[in-house]
Amino acid sequence: MAKVEIYTWQYCPFCIKAKSLLQKKGVNYIEHSIDGDQSAREVMANRSEGRTTVPQIFIDEKGIGGCDDLYELDQTNQLDDLLGLTN
């Protein structure tokens, strides 16, 4: 299974929605809560080619974007492959 990391803010509705989809798929992920943590925000921005919005989601170290991007991958049947959920 793929390594999944997600940078979040505690009350961000898009973060909650993205985590919900990952949980529905049974994916374990590492959550980096960046509320009030400027150094963590900088790490996220560096990893995500300058993006500063949350969530920022990484699958096997590759940035895939945010919540909308995650759901688009799911709707186009690409997410399961990236997550290693297909045979």
Q: In this predicted structure, what is the pLDDT of residue 21? A: 98
Q: What is the pLDDT of residue 87?
A: 58
Contact 37, 19 (CB under 8 A): no
Helix orientation angle between 67-75 and 13-24, rounded to the nearest 10 degrees = 30
Question: What's the CA angle centered on 23, arms 29 and 20, to 5 degrees?
Answer: 105
- pLDDT computed for residue 1 by the predictor: 85
One digit per residue, the tens of pLDDT, for the chain of length 87 reads 899 999 999 999 999 999 999 999 999 999 999 999 999 999 999 999 999 999 999 999 999 999 999 999 999 999 999 999 975
Structure confidence at residue 71 (pLDDT): 98
In the chain the domains, ranked by start, together with CATH numbers, are 4-83 (3.40.30.10)
Distance CA 83, CA 11 (A): 25
Which three-class secondary structure state does DSSP give residue 78?
coil
Report whether 3 contacts 60 (CB < 8 A). Answer: yes
CA 85 to CA 87: how far, in whole Å? 7
